[in-house]
Amino acid sequence: MNSSPSRKIIHVDMDCFYAAIEVRDHPELRGKPVAVGGSSERRGVLTTCSYEARKFGCRSAMPTFKAMRLCPDLILMPVRFDVYRQESARIREIFHRFTSLVEPLSLDEAFLDVSHLNSSGSAIAMEIRAMIQEESQLTASAGISANKLIAKIASDWRKPNGQFEVSEGEVADFMRALPVKRLWGVGKVTEKRLQALGLETCGDIVDRPLHQLVAELGRFGAELHEMAQGIDHRKVNPSRERKSLSNERTFAENLTSATEGLLKLEPILDELEADLGHAKNRDREICKSVVKLKFADFTQTTIERAAMSIDRNLYRTLLEEAWARGDGKSVRLIGAGVRFLSESGSDDDHSGHQLKLFQ
């Protein structure tokens, strides 16, 4: 596919969004290590933390008790989703002054397609960030490039409160030097595995023949090969509706038995249930349950079945069935999720839909 005239894509990412809002609203917190999240007594995790807290090694999604150990002076603020949502809406309104092609990824980041505007992507990003700072007293970082993949990587480059552009001519060089862990889908464990194959940078991946990558890593190898070249044809999709929600976990050591897998499945389902409880998902109707396994050889399998709620027994069955497909291969990742019925009410793949006796 030839992606005709070049595009101008901006990825805007708010800096420590929730924590920054808390510091703005509580000026006495300025300059101190601040985190937003659930308390450790309730086994909470951090959703965000300020740069001061990050210096101590605190990270988002880290269990609160662990963060408190790393940084005993950490100031933990309770989560105020209503405020964050309101702030997020205000910032989105700023985006819409420039383009209607805005694809929010979450409350604190979004892709913008500004190809139709005459100004350079950098100039537009600069203007947007200035408006955000003026109107919300919050800072944002931006990445500018010809596609979503690179724009998103680039927005991290000058964080916080900075921006970075990768022009089309620079893509090849930019990608070559990029460590593999920057790519989507490459976490710690995959990174190690890639390193073991001598793949440290995207350049290493591009230089490796495609068939070898596929032999080593399965379909993911082919995806990696494309990503590593900075190829991404995905459009900025303003009406993107969340079609599914899932939760997955990669294990430090591969699991060798389905029994082990069943044990590991439970906390994944706990989290999935918690995520489904969030306001943004609460009204969505579930139509399918999905279990995904990634095997030691990086091949993966997904199995799904019609369901209207989180039925743990069904997930257990799906896990066992998926496990059997591996023919004894050990498993490095388990994912469990749901697909939502599309909001128009019909299932997007035209399969059956269970009618209800009552709501």
Shortest distance in whole angstroms from residue 312 CB to another protein: 7
ω into 160 cis (within 30 of 0)? yes
The answer to whether residue 351 forms part of the interface with another protein (CB under 8 A) is yes
Q: Would you say 26 or 278 has its CB closer to another protein?
A: 278
- Other Cβ atoms within 10 Å of 83 Cβ, number: 13
Shortest distance in whole angstroms from residue 254 CB to another protein: 25
The answer to whether residue 355 forms part of the interface with another protein (CB under 8 A) is yes
Burial 37-58 (b: 16+ CB within 10 A, else e): bbebeeebbbbbbbebbbebeb
Q: Would you say 225 or 288 has its CB closer to another protein?
A: 288
Active site residue ranges: 109
Shortest distance in whole angstroms from residue 320 CB to another protein: 14
Stretch binding another protein (CB under 8 A), from 81-89, 92-100, 124-132, 309-317: 309-317
Q: What are 59's two structure tokens?
A: 């990270």
The answer to whether residue 173 forms part of the interface with another protein (CB under 8 A) is no
- In one letter, which amino acid is 113? D
Shortest distance in whole angstroms from residue 316 CB to another protein: 11
DSSP letters along 256-321, please? --HHHHHHHHHHHHHHHHHHHHSHHHHTPPEEEEEEEEEETTS-EEEEEEE-SS--HHHHHHHHHH
The answer to whether residue 354 forms part of the interface with another protein (CB under 8 A) is yes
Q: Would you say 201 or 317 has its CB closer to another protein?
A: 317
Q: 196 burial class (0-12, 13-18, 19+ CB within 10 angstroms)? A: exposed
Instruction: For residue 228, give Cα distances in angstroms to 143, 168, 179, 211, 273.
Output: 17, 15, 10, 15, 34
Residues 57-86 within binding reach of another protein (CB under 8 A): none
Shortest distance in whole angstroms from residue 244 CB to another protein: 13
The answer to whether residue 182 forms part of the interface with another protein (CB under 8 A) is no
The residues with which 292 forms a beta bridge, in sequence order, are: 302, 335
Shortest distance in whole angstroms from residue 309 CB to another protein: 3
- Closest by Cα among 19, 16, 8, 13 to 162: 13
Size of the site for another protein (CB under 8 A): 26
Stretch binding another protein (CB under 8 A), from 83-91, 120-128, 149-157, 311-319: 311-319
**Sheet arrangement for strand 286-295:** 244-255, 331-340, 286-295, 300-306
Stretch binding another protein (CB under 8 A), from 41-49, 202-210, 222-230, 298-306: 298-306
Contact string 244-273 vs another protein (x = CB under 8 A)? -----------------------------x
The answer to whether residue 353 forms part of the interface with another protein (CB under 8 A) is yes
Contact present, 308 and 286 (Cβ < 8 Å): yes
Contact present, 161 and 140 (Cβ < 8 Å): yes
Contact present, 228 and 202 (Cβ < 8 Å): yes
The answer to whether residue 352 forms part of the interface with another protein (CB under 8 A) is yes
Stretch binding another protein (CB under 8 A), from 28-36, 164-172, 192-200, 346-354: 346-354
Stretch binding another protein (CB under 8 A), from 20-28, 191-199, 301-309, 323-331: 301-309
d(CA 93, CA 102): 10
The answer to whether residue 288 forms part of the interface with another protein (CB under 8 A) is yes
Q: 201 burial class (0-12, 13-18, 19+ CB within 10 angstroms)? A: middle
Shortest distance in whole angstroms from residue 283 CB to another protein: 13
Interacting residues with another protein (CB under 8 A): 273, 277, 288, 303-306, 308-313, 346-347, 349-359
